[in-house]
Chain A
Amino acid sequence: MEWLTSLGNAVQNPATYIDAMTLGSIYALIAVGYTMVYGIIKLINFAHGEIIMLGTYIGLLAVNTLNVPIVLAILIAMLACAAIGAILDWNAYLPLRRSLPKAEMLSIIGLVGGAGLLIAYFTTGEAGDNMATAHRIVFGFLAVVLLLLLVSTLADLLGWFGSPRNNVKSDRLAALITAIGMSLCLQTMAHLLWSAKYESFPTSATKIFDSKLIAQTTEGLVFRWNPFGPPLVDAVPILLWKELVTWVAMLVLMFVLLVIVQRTKIGKAMRACALDQQTAWLMGINVNHVIAFTFMIGSAMAAVAGILYSVKVGGNIYPRMGYYPGVIAFAAAVLGGIGNIKGAVLGGLIIGFTEAFGGAVAQQYDKAFAFGLMVIFILFRPWGILGQKEAKRA
């Protein structure tokens, strides 16, 4: 029973709990983004992982080019990601929620497709280099997407799409496929912008986060409450500042979020939209604004999670970095009951603990434990821990 002894060791070791809490907090922050969007438009936003990635890159850019401290970089990334979330909704999902006459749709696609290929044609690379050809195709594709976004926004302003109407039910599948498409599109864009190379936050920027809060020395436990003071040398770290910061960030942001949802006017509108969109429209709520706001909040949380995750593991910033945290947080959202904010936090923490303790038993299968737990829940309690049982689920 070797695994039992490893589990026993993990249970007695405080480091496992610290790790589980940190991971769980990060997953909770991401899961909230999934769950809020699902709660309102019943869409699994598969591009959420890419928002994490974009937020982390923006934070890295802020640190590297503006030389701001990392806390400020997190704020910048939050604001930028909120904007990205809103743009994503307006341009990728909003047009799908509205009716669109076919002829206009075709003409737009044709127009934009032609222009995109023109651009593709003139973006030439070095001869005989297949990478250049691939780049040309990708650039062309991106040009098409960007122009489509531009034209659709323009067409929207001119009223080509007709008056706003809600078609949420019939378009759910289309929105899901669009989400997957946006995920690939954003990943490729990051690839072109920042290359596939791995990046990490410079050590000078994360110095305070990396410093020890509680450490073990020969004279016993030492607490060091001032992270700016002289560093503790020759001490084995027990708790690092970055871990405490992650927990506190999660708790504070969740508290703020709950206050927004339960106590403010926009929060009331969000709850109304989640219950019944048609009625919300009739009551004079601009549902599209509320949905955009939901995307903004979820994306800002994702930015925080992405940066804290990168600081925790010590690097790993690359275009596909959002994939694993994204799918695991999705599992957490399902576990807690998708559509329920408290459920997402609970699910995130449970998944964090499962991963930490499962990993202590069999390291290579840490994520398998998390997904296994999700499978069990889908089999026996598909509505999650705190979710509402629905009569029909599409």
Chain B
Amino acid sequence: MKRLISILSCAIIVFALAFTVACGKTGGDTGSGGDDAAGEVKFAVCGPMTGSGAAFGEMIKMGARLKADEINAAGGIGGRKVVLSIEDDKGAPSEAASVARKVAADQSVCLVIGHFNSACSNTAKSEYNRKGVIQFSPGSTNVSVCAGSPWTFRNLYRDDYQGTFLAEYAQSVLGLQKVAIFYDDDDYGKGLMQSFKKRAEEIGLSIVESVAYMRERTQDFKPLVSRVKDAGIDGIFVSGLHNEAALIAKTTVTDLGLKVALLGGDGVMSPELIKLAGPAAEGMYVSTPFLFNTGNDSEAAKMFLEKFEKKYETAPDTWAALTYDAVGMALAAVGEVGTDRKKLKAWFAGCTTADKGYQGVTGNTYFDSEGDCYSKGAHVAIVKNGVFVPAPKQLQK
């Protein structure tokens, strides 16, 4: 009996191995063939698919898929099917580095859409430069992301612009005088905090304290907010991502009963903020590179909104729109010059004027010599009755 069982088990293990091999093989089939002209067009979409930024990753994935499916339904790019390889960097620089190594080494990937978190883009860019593949970020706003990196591009503003914009908005539109800053201790949070602080000092907006926190490690914000409670502040600026902003809003409003204006950078711009913070988020101001329902939406934006809601039964956010545009622009480039990585880079680097730019949902995208994009302004959204709406007063620049 025992022997029988052993033999049986050996047979099953062999069977199992065979299945593993079969599994691996089907996985390989979908990935190959991007090199030859008749094959697929393969992009890697890198972002925080899991971890605290998973809500962003989800929107990025949906935005990218929507564009790819549209093109495929219309027959692809010159008859070639568009394939997206979704890669998860968990919003952590260490993970981003290994994702970059994997993606850049895969010759079938002709372009990378991502990363989202600035710290991830900054870590990954050296690998993309070494292997020569375009890194096109629809979300990283840190000042240094494109600097000195010829293969890096982005389709939204930089944090020095955003920080300046927010500081001016806080003072001249909201009339704030004393503000406390809570910032995420990574490239994005720190960079945005510094530019906000710099502009605030120039225009005479007093900063009581800049308090650092660690994403996913700082969980209890009560001691942090308590520190600035008695300083007579009239505003709190959160330079970080939505989850922590929700906790700060809840602590400020419910636990400490402070009545101050809440401001956030674009990292806070996610429907998840409202879901997590509930009524505590009411009236929070958030800056964003793009906003729906402004009253004078472009036709493209209206179309996108409709298609997205039809497909996913949920409203898109800023990041879905920016990723949709990034994929669209990359596909436009592939349509003109093919999937060769060097030719694609030449196309992107040459896209420096408004008439050469890509007209998408979020506006016209073209780059300066570094790969930064200055063609889109910033907007301010306010949370009203549980949704982001354009703030009644925008800053005219």
Contacts and interface: CB of A to CB of B under 8 A. Distances in A.
A314 B247 CA distance: 6
Contacts of B22: 121
Contacts of A109: 9
A382 to B, nearest CB: 27
B220 A23 contact: yes
Interface residues of B, number: 64
Given A15-B226, A198-B52, A324-B219, A107 B278 contact: no
A323 to B, nearest CB: 9
Contacts of A15: 226
A23 B221 CA distance: 12
Nearest to A127: B30
Interface stretch (A297-305, A336-344, A360-368): A360-368
Given A113-B13, A312-B220, A107 B5 contact: yes
Interface in B12-28: 12-13, 15-16, 19-20, 22-23, 27
Interface in B42-86: 42, 49-52, 54-55, 58, 83-86
Nearest to A23: B220
Contact of A203 (B27, B185, B278): B278
Nearest to B259: A234
B52 A111 contact: no
A293 B85 CA distance: 47
Given A127-B30, A363-B211, A111 B257 contact: no
B142 interface: no
A364 B213 CA distance: 7
B58 A197 contact: yes
Interface string A1-23: 00000000000010110010001
B349 interface: no
B223 A360 contact: yes
A198 B51 CA distance: 9
Nearest to A320: B216
Interface in A303-333: 312-316, 318, 320, 324
A286 interface: no
B246 A315 contact: yes
B212 interface: yes
A243 B234 CA distance: 27
A315 B250 contact: yes
Interface string A120-161: 110000011111011010000000000000000000000000
A176 interface: no
A359 interface: yes
Contacts of A129: 84-86
Given A114-B16, A364-B214, A130 B85 contact: yes
Which of B58, B88, B243 has the most chain A CB atoms closer than 10 A to its own CB? B243
Nearest to B24: A133
B6 interface: yes
B358 to A, nearest CB: 24
Contacts of B275: 200
A236 B257 contact: yes
A121 B25 CA distance: 11
Contacts of A316: 219, 243, 247
Contacts of B279: 203
Most buried by A among B20, B214, B255: B255
A199 B185 CA distance: 22
B222 interface: yes
Contacts of A363: 211-213, 218, 223-224, 227
Cβ-closest 9 pairs across A and B = A110-B9, A314-B250, A203-B278, A196-B54, A196-B50, A107-B9, A114-B12, A128-B83, A107-B5
Interface of A: 13, 15-16, 19, 23, 103-104, 106-111, 113-114, 117-118, 120-121, 127-131, 133-134, 136, 191, 195-200, 202-204, 210, 212, 215, 235-237, 240, 312-316, 318, 320, 324, 356, 359-360, 363-364, 366-367
9 contacts: A107-B9, A113-B13, A196-B49, A197-B58, A200-B250, A236-B256, A237-B257, A312-B222, A316-B219
